[in-house]
Copies of this chain bind each other. A is one copy, B any other.
Amino acid sequence: MKKTGVALLGLGTVGGGTYRILQQNRELIKKAHGLDIEVIKILDRDYNKSDALNVDRAKVTFDIDDIISDPSIGIVAEAIGGINPAKSFLIKALEAGKSVVTANKELCAKCWDELNAAAKKGKAGFYFEASCVGGVPIIRTLMDGMQANNILEMKGIVNGTTNYILSAMTQCGTEYSDALKEAQKLGYAEANPTADVDGFDASYKISILSTLAFHKHVPLEKVYREGISSISVEDINYGKELGMTLKLLAIAKNNGGKIEARVHPAFVDNAHPLATVSGSFNAVHLLGDMVGDIMLYGRGAGDLPTGSAIVSDIVYAANKGGAKYNYNNGTFKDSDFAGDFTCKYYIRMNVSDKSGTLGKIATVFGKNKVSLQSVLQKDVKDGFAPIVFTTHETGEKNMQKALAAVKELDSVIDVAAVIRIE
The answer, yes or no, to whether A298 is at the interface (CB within 8 Å) is: yes
The answer, yes or no, to whether A400 is at the interface (CB within 8 Å) is: no
Question: A145's contact among B25, B137, B277, B290, by CB below 8 Å, is which?
Answer: B137
Q: How far is the CB of A307 from chain B (nearest CB, A)?
A: 6
Closest Cβ neighbor of A271 among chain B residues: B276
How far is it, in angstroms, between the C-alpha of A289 and the C-alpha of B32 when the chains are bound? 15
The answer, yes or no, to whether A383 is at the interface (CB within 8 Å) is: no
Q: Are A307 and B319 in contact (CB under 8 A)?
A: no
Question: Known contacts A298-B295, A304-B292: does B147 contact A312 (CB below 8 Å)?
Answer: yes
Q: Are A148 and B292 in contact (CB under 8 A)?
A: no
Q: Are B148 and A144 in contact (CB under 8 A)?
A: no
Q: Are B294 and A297 in contact (CB under 8 A)?
A: yes
Residues of B within 8 A of A320 (CB): 323
Residues of B within 8 A of A323 (CB): 319-321
Closest Cβ neighbor of A33 among chain B residues: B147
Closest Cβ neighbor of A277 among chain B residues: B273
Residues of B within 8 A of A304 (CB): 290-292
Q: Are B292 and A305 in contact (CB under 8 A)?
A: yes
Q: Are A299 and B291 in contact (CB under 8 A)?
A: yes
- The contact size tier of chain A is 35 or more
Q: How far is the CB of A382 from chain B (nearest CB, A)?
A: 39
Residues of B within 8 A of A315 (CB): 147-148
Q: Are A298 and B293 in contact (CB under 8 A)?
A: yes
The answer, yes or no, to whether A375 is at the interface (CB within 8 Å) is: no
Question: A291's contact among B135, B140, B144, B319, by CB below 8 Å, is which?
Answer: B135
Query: Quick one: which of A264-316 are within 8 Å of B by CB?
Result: 273, 276-277, 281, 288-299, 302, 304-305, 307-312, 315-316
Closest Cβ neighbor of A142 among chain B residues: B137
Q: Are B144 and A294 in contact (CB under 8 A)?
A: no
Q: Are A288 and B308 in contact (CB under 8 A)?
A: yes
The answer, yes or no, to whether A372 is at the interface (CB within 8 Å) is: no
Residues of B within 8 A of A321 (CB): 323
Query: Quick one: which of A1-47 are within 8 Å of B by CB?
Result: 17, 21, 25, 28-29, 31-34
The answer, yes or no, to whether A69 is at the interface (CB within 8 Å) is: no
How far is it, in angstroms, between the C-alpha of A294 and the C-alpha of B323 when the chains are bound? 28
How far is it, in angstroms, between the C-alpha of A329 and the C-alpha of B28 when the chains are bound? 12
Q: Are B273 and A290 in contact (CB under 8 A)?
A: no
The answer, yes or no, to whether A146 is at the interface (CB within 8 Å) is: yes
Question: Known contacts A215-B31, A291-B305, A305-B292: does B298 contact A147 (CB below 8 Å)?
Answer: no
Residues of B within 8 A of A134 (CB): 291
How far is it, in angstroms, between the C-alpha of A291 and the C-alpha of B25 when the chains are bound? 12
The answer, yes or no, to whether A394 is at the interface (CB within 8 Å) is: no
Residues of B within 8 A of A294 (CB): 135-137, 296-298
Binding site for B on A (CB under 8 A): 17, 21, 25, 28-29, 31-34, 129, 134-137, 140-141, 144-150, 215, 273, 276-277, 281, 288-299, 302, 304-305, 307-312, 315-316, 319-321, 323, 326, 329
